[in-house]
Amino acid sequence: MSWYPKNKVLVPVDFSEVSLKAVDVALEFASDPSGVYVLHVARELNPNDPAVLWGNMDDNKRVEESKTALRETFSGPAYEKVHVETLLGEPGSKIVKYAKGIGAELIVMPSHGRKGFEHMVIGSVAERVLRTSNCPVLILRHEE
């Protein structure tokens, strides 16, 4: 338990191992597991993506599949009160907007440690959240 328990903690996840482990860190900061919100933000599909062209996938189906995957991933007793949500859009701005909407007191998320050209081109979701969030952001260091 943290010295300063929070009522609402947001954990953005991208299904990487390090982001899923961030949920356990958030549980340590939350005063109650029902105050932990797990959020996955999927980027909208490109209309030229083969899955879209062939009719195999659309954004609504991806949202539902992501929610199902989150519920399955966090199905144990420690997670039964944790909230899960999936949104579509640009992850950085959606995370900040969602945090503001739920009144989050803390955002816990990993940094994937991209550097150089890859960071410049792709950008860092963690950096965007850190720069634009109205609440504290705990960035978990990713060790390789």
Per-residue pLDDT of the chain (144 residues; tens, 9 = 90+): 456 889 999 999 999 898 999 999 999 999 999 999 999 998 876 666 665 555 666 677 888 888 999 999 999 999 999 999 999 999 999 999 999 999 999 999 988 655 555 544 445 888 899 999 999 999 987 665
Backbone angles phi, psi at 112, to 5 degrees: -80, -5
> What is this structure's pTM?
0.84
Q: C-alpha distances in angstroms, 109 versus 34, 60, 144?
A: 18, 25, 16
**CA–CA dist 133, 100 (Å, integer):** 8
Non-local CB neighbours of 122 within 8 Å, separated by 6+ positions: 114
Residue 121 pLDDT: 42
**CA–CA dist 25, 6 (Å, integer):** 12
Question: And the tokens for 45?
Answer: 């599909």
Residue 22 pLDDT: 94
Residue 79 pLDDT: 95
Q: Which CATH superfamily is domain 9-140 in?
A: HUPs (3.40.50.620)
Q: Taking the domains of the chain in order of start, what are their residue ranges? A: 9-140
Question: And the tokens for 10?
Answer: 């947001």
Residue 59 pLDDT: 74
Q: Name the CA dihedral angle for 66, 89, 107, 127, rounded to a multiple of 10 degrees.
A: 130
